[in-house]
């Protein structure tokens, strides 16, 4: 029985507590509604409910707006609501004009509240702290930081990322204010691996700040999306020797490529900062790789006529590597058509043949006009004045050196340059041969830069353009090339490539009807047409259509005219 009474008493006490809580909430709501009539609700940035809650937690002494005569609390003071709803206008103006006294008055009026109106980023892209650091006014900075440390401004303002992707620490590093950087990190607990603070310090040559950031654990190899370089690239390309040494001391990797696919060493070589270049060479550990543009450091030094760095590489690299890299540079000079470097390119080819054993002779191929790489100095001398033959020699040397070392993508780029030369010379058959050979290499390589639908579509359209040029010039095209391009296009068939298939079928039908080919060629084309018109292709969102039906529909609506005059194709 006593147990039941205890349970009843406990329940009654709980009901009393709940009624008291409801009464308290009702009282607060009444106070809230009463205060709403004292200010314009459309300008309010913080609700009265949160303000009342804060008053209960911290007491009234924190605020200066108690009016003894009217016995009103601080929130009844009209200037409070004016400044809390529109702080950025007056505070930002005070910081810009460096009016410390007026800024101090405004800060005192806003104690306990977030001073910066970060929600309206379109009007005020800076925080009050970043604005003060930008203006380089130490008094305003000191006042704002003291207000933050006392808890009157949210401390997260220190790490707040502005519209431009910068923080207060970033601006301090840019200005080279070491004392402020140290205070923001140690007292304000600012994040050092954020927004590229190390990079901006390296860019502006603030060696003391860079060394301090690294000692605090800043990552020297960190990538930041707002920059196209790392800290070592920034220091190297601006000739900041001390910063380069500091970054290398704390583990910066000199082999990392920036967004331009270059290393820090390449910038030093190109700008002739040879002291930095020699330091970076010593830290590479003989790992001098080819960059994204197809240059090694030795090739770049020779290309820039930086004799001092070239001699450095000649002393540390193996002889065969030197000969191969200089031969590759000669290949680039030849394919690029650099007339000023023509004699130098021949000299590099000559040295490669003179200092090495005869190369293994490869089988002649049609794509290279059945030419082979020169094996002796006499063979090289005979083709010296033959530009086309020298280009074939350069392509063969590039194929041997680049593909063997896994740089097939750079070889493909050289092939594409040579196809452009043939197209300019209107040698369309040679252009077609090289483009077909190049596309076969691209398919086999599966390089990430070429593994996109957009690239394949553009490249196949270029091949189709050459086929139309040959058709206009000779009234026929090679049937084997036509079928090969058809196979490649069909394997990647979609809505965008269906037009290429129809144009290829159109060419085949036109050639057959024109009777410009022999019977054997005609049988091959007819077989190709029969297989093509009956094949079903995926066009659009997974829909399967017979190509013939799709082709006839296009002719019916007038998109294609099946006449000789309609065979036109504009340059891609």
pTM: 0.72
Q: Model confidence over 509-547: pLDDT tens digits?
A: 888 877 777 777 778 788 777 777 776 665 555 556 666
Q: Model confidence over 173-209: pLDDT tens digits?
A: 999 999 999 999 998 888 888 888 999 999 999 999 9
Closest CA to 61 of 76, 71, 73: 73
Question: What's the pLDDT score for residue 102?
Answer: 66
- Rounded distance between C-alpha atoms, residue 29 and residue 83, angstroms: 24
Q: Model confidence over 28-87: pLDDT tens digits?
A: 665 555 555 444 444 444 444 444 444 433 333 333 433 444 344 433 443 333 333 334
Most distant CA pair in the chain: distance in Å? 121
Q: Model confidence over 330-368: pLDDT tens digits?
A: 999 999 998 899 999 999 999 998 887 766 667 888 899
| pLDDT grade for 508, boundaries at 50, 70 and 90 | confident
Please report, for the chain, the start and end positions of each structural domain, with discontinuous segments joined by +.
Answer: 456-572
User: Mean pLDDT, to the nearest integer, of 359-384?
Assistant: 87
Output the DSSP codes for 448-490.
TTT-SHHHHHHHHHHHHHHHHHHHHHHS---HHHHHHHHHHHH
Q: What is the 3-state secondary structure (H, E, C) of 318-335?
A: CHHHHHHHHHHHHHHHHH
Beta strands in 291-428 (DSSP E): none
Closest CA to 420 of 572, 314, 280: 572
Could you tell me which residues come within 8 angstroms of residue 137 by beta carbon, excluding any fewer than 6 positions away?
A: 95, 98, 100
Question: What's the pLDDT score for residue 509?
Answer: 80
């Amino acid at each position: 029985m006593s147990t039941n009474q205890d349970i009843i008493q406990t329940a009654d006490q709980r009901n009393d507590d709940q009624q008291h809580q409801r009464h308290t909430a009702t009282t607060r709501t009444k106070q809230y509604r009463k205060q709403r009539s004292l200010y314009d609700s459309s300008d309010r940035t913080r609700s009265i409910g949160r303000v009342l809650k804060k008053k209960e937690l911290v007491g009234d002494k924190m605020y200066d707006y108690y009016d003894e005569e009217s016995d009103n609390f601080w929130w009844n003071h009209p200037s409070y609501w004016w400044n809390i709803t529109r702080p950025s206008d007056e505070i930002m103006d005070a910081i810009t004009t460096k009016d410390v006294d007026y800024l101090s008055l405004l800060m005192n009026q806003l104690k306990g509240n977030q001073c910066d109106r970060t929600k309206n980023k379109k009007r005020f892209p800076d925080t009050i702290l970043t604005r003060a650091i930008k203006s380089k006014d130490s008094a305003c900075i000191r006042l704002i930081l003291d207000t933050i440390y006392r808890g009157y401004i949210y401390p997260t303002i220190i790490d707040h990322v502005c519209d431009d992707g910068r923080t207060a620490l970033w601006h301090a590093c840019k200005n080279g204010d070491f004392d402020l950087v140290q205070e923001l990190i140690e007292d304000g607990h600012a994040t050092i691996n954020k927004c590229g603070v190390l990079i901006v310090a390296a860019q502006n040559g603030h060696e003391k700040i860079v060394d301090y950031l690294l000692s605090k654990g800043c990552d020297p190899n960190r990538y930041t999306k707002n920059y196209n370089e790392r800290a070592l690239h920034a220091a190297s390309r601006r000739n900041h020797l001390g910063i380069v040494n500091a970054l290398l001391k704390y583990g910066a990797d000199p082999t990392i490529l920036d967004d331009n696919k270059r290393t820090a060493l390449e910038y030093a070589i190109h700008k002739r900062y040879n002291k930095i270049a020699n330091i970076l060479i010593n830290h590479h550990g003989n790992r001098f790789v080819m960059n994204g543009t197809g240059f090694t450091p030795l090739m770049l030094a020779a290309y820039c006529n930086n004799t001092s760095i070239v001699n450095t590489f000649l002393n540390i690299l193996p002889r065969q590597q030197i000969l191969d890299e200089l031969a590759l540079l000669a290949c680039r000079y030849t394919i690029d058509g650099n007339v000023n470097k023509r004699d130098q390119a021949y000299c590099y080819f000559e040295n490669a043949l003179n200092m090495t054993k005869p190369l293994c002779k490869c089988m002649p191929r049609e794509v290279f006009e059945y030419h082979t790489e020169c094996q002796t100095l006499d063979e090289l001398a005979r083709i010296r004045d033959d530009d086309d033959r020298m280009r074939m020699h350069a392509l063969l040397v590039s194929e041997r050196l680049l593909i063997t070392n896994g740089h097939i993508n750079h070889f493909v780029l050289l092939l594409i340059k040579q196809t452009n030369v043939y197209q300019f010379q209107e040698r369309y058959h040679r252009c077609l041969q090289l483009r077909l050979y190049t596309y076969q290499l691209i398919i086999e390589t599966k390089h990430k830069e070429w593994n996109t639908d957009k690239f394949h579509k553009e490249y196949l359209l270029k091949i189709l353009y050459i086929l139309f040029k040959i058709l206009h010039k000779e009234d026929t095209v090679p049937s084997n090339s036509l079928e090969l391009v058809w196979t490649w296009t069909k394997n990647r068939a979609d809505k965008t490539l269906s037009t290429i298939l129809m144009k290829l079928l159109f060419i085949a039908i036109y050639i057959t009807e024109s009777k410009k080919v022999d019977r054997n060629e005609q049988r091959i084309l007819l077989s190709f047409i029969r297989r093509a018109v009956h094949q079903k292709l995926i066009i659009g969102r997974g829909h399967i259509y017979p190509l013939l039906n799709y082709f006839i529909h296009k002719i019916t609506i007038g998109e294609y005219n099946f006449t000789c005059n309609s065979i036109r194709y504009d340059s891609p």
